[in-house]
Structures are given as structure tokens and as C-alpha cells.
Structure 1
Amino acid sequence: MLTFEEKLSIIESFPELERKNVSMGRINFHYEASASDKKNVVYHLHSNGNGFVYGAELNGYEKNDKGMVNIRDFSEDELRTIIQKSILSLTPKTSTKAPIMEEQKEEKWINQDHQTLILVQEEDMWSVYAGLNLDGAFNSYGEAAEYLHEEGFTRFS
């Protein structure tokens, strides 16, 4: 289990999060650019190591009735991953950095440095975009996914 200080250091490494001290020594971290009224990404981080991350839109996590995931026993990688996914789930879906697409299958992939790539099926090819820039084109989904994994990206679900 990570200590409070280790968790705090990991959370503070996300520049898009703003620290908010709350009652009884607890700390919240807000994502002010959130597309919704929901801004808390990290909720009630406590010096005993307990705390929560917003995960209402995330699959694969046990959540409470408010959509929060308890992070008490998370490893560093697990904590970084859920925070990345939480931020991405709150990020506005329309962005000037997103490739212009119509009715195409697309997936978001994210790495440990919070960088996001978009994998898009375009006719019979699979294209990887970094914002509006084409990063690579592949003949199959498998080739594209292998490339993304080799580059340290995981699919965001």
C-alpha cells in the first residue's frame, strides 16, 4: 500500500488537477476543464491513505453509489491509470486536437505521461492520430494495436 505522501506525490504529478484542502485534513483534486458539473477527480484523500477517485464512467472498478472508487490499496501504476482514465472521462469530447471523423470506429489510447492517441478505422486501414497529425497507418487492427502497445499505450475503455 502506498503512503499518503506517495499518493499525494503521484496525484500532484497531474498538472491538470487543482488541489483543494477540505475539512479534517482531507484533500480533493479538481479537474476544472471538466465537460460536466463533476470536477472532483480525487475525493477526500486522507493522511491514513484512504481516498477515492471518480470512476462512474469507468469499467472494471468497484464503485460506491456516487461512482467513486476507493484507492486505499492501489499500487502506483493502478493509481496513475485510474486518474488518467478519470480525467479522460471528464474531458470535453469535442476538441480542436481531435481528428475530424464521421461515423468511423475509433478508440482512445493513453500512456503513463497522459498522452492520448486515437485509433481510427478509415475504410480498410487503421490510422493512429496524435491530435490532427497522422502518427501511423496500418493494414489491420492487430498491427495498430501492437504498435500502440510497443509505444507504451493502453486502450481506454
Structure 2
Amino acid sequence: MLTFEEKLHIIETFPELQRKDISLGRVNFHFEESVQDKKIVVQNLHPNGNGFVFAGHLPYKQRDKKGLVNIRDYSEAELRELLEQAIAYLSKEPAGIEKEEEAADCEGTWVGRNQQELTLVREDQLWNVYAGSNLEECFESPVEAERYLREEGFRKKR
């Protein structure tokens, strides 16, 4: 496992990331040139070596609900690759749904393999997935919501 100092050194070799010291000795790194809403690439890097990197480019099952992966046990090569991929992902406009009219097309009922149904609804600034009246997931964009539904085996009901 890399130490906190080793992880800091690796992350600081990426000139496009700006360090932001936060509480309890933790550090965030921001990518201000991001063309997406997400700006924090490294989150809560802790002196104990724990921390998270945004990985919206990875399949939903490989990251947490916020799109982060834990880098506690990453090697130098793995960390560099993850950071490169995160920066590349945040440098591109989201693929797929790009216009408001097209985003509205993904709203509605989605059907799974066993005929279970989920509903995708835009509410305020979020895209929410419901199972009946229960909120299952929240997303900041229709692209993320649609990607999640497709990865989970759901298709838009026509």
C-alpha cells in the first residue's frame, strides 16, 4: 500500500489537478476545467492512506453511489491510470443524451429482465429512480441515470 505522502506525490504530478486542503489533514484535488458538473477528482485523501477517486467512467458496480472508488490499496500504476481516466472522462461532454428534449425521452417506465418496473423521473435538478413509491437511486444527469438502468438490465418501456 502506498503511503499518504506517496499518493500525494503521484497526484501532484497531474498539473491539471489543484490541491485543496480540508479538515483533519485530509486533501481534495479539483479539476477546474471539467466540462461536467463534477469537479472533485480526489476526495478525502487521509493521512492514513485512505481516499477516493471519482470514477464515473467505470461500470456502476465497480464504484459507489457517488461514482467514487477507494484507493487505499492501489499501486502507483493503478492510481496513475485511474487519475488519467477520470480526467479524460471529465474532459468530455457526456455521451448519449445531450439535449433537453432527448433527456426527456429517458423519463418514464423501465422494465427489467423479470418484468420488474422502475420509473425514472426528473425532479428539480436530479434524476430519480423509483421502485413503486420507494426512491432507489438519485443521479445528477440523465446520462448517469440511463447508464445505471441499462447496466442493471432495464430497457425503456415503449
CA contact (8 A) 1:58 1:85 kept: no
> Which SS does the other structure have where 1:42 is aligned?
strand
Question: 1:70 maps to which residue?
Answer: 70
Q: Which is further off, 81-90 or 61-70? A: 61-70
Q: What does 1:1-157 correspond to in 2, within 5 Å?
A: 1-59=1-59, 62-93=62-93
| Deviations 1:8-51, CA, capped at 9 Å, x for gaps | 00000000000001111110000000001210000000000000
Quote the offset at 1:86 in angstroms.
0.3
* Aligned sequence identity (%): 57
RMSD: 1.8
Distance 1:60 1:74 in 2: 19
Structure with more of its chain in helix, by fraction:
2
CA contact (8 A) 2:55 2:67 kept: yes
Q: Give the letter aligned to residue 46 of structure 1.
A: H
Q: Which runs of 5+ in 2 are unaligned?
A: 94-158
Aligned residues: 94
Distance 1:35 1:61 in 2: 24
CA gap 1:92/1:62 in 2 versus in 1, 3 angstroms: closer
> Which SS does the other structure have where 1:20 is aligned?
strand
Distance 1:29 1:57 in 2: 18
CA contact (8 A) 1:26 1:47 kept: yes
Q: Which runs of 5+ in 1 are unaligned?
A: 94-157
CA contact (8 A) 2:28 2:44 kept: yes
| Deviations 1:43-95, CA, capped at 9 Å, x for gaps | 000000000000022249721110100000000000000000000000034xx
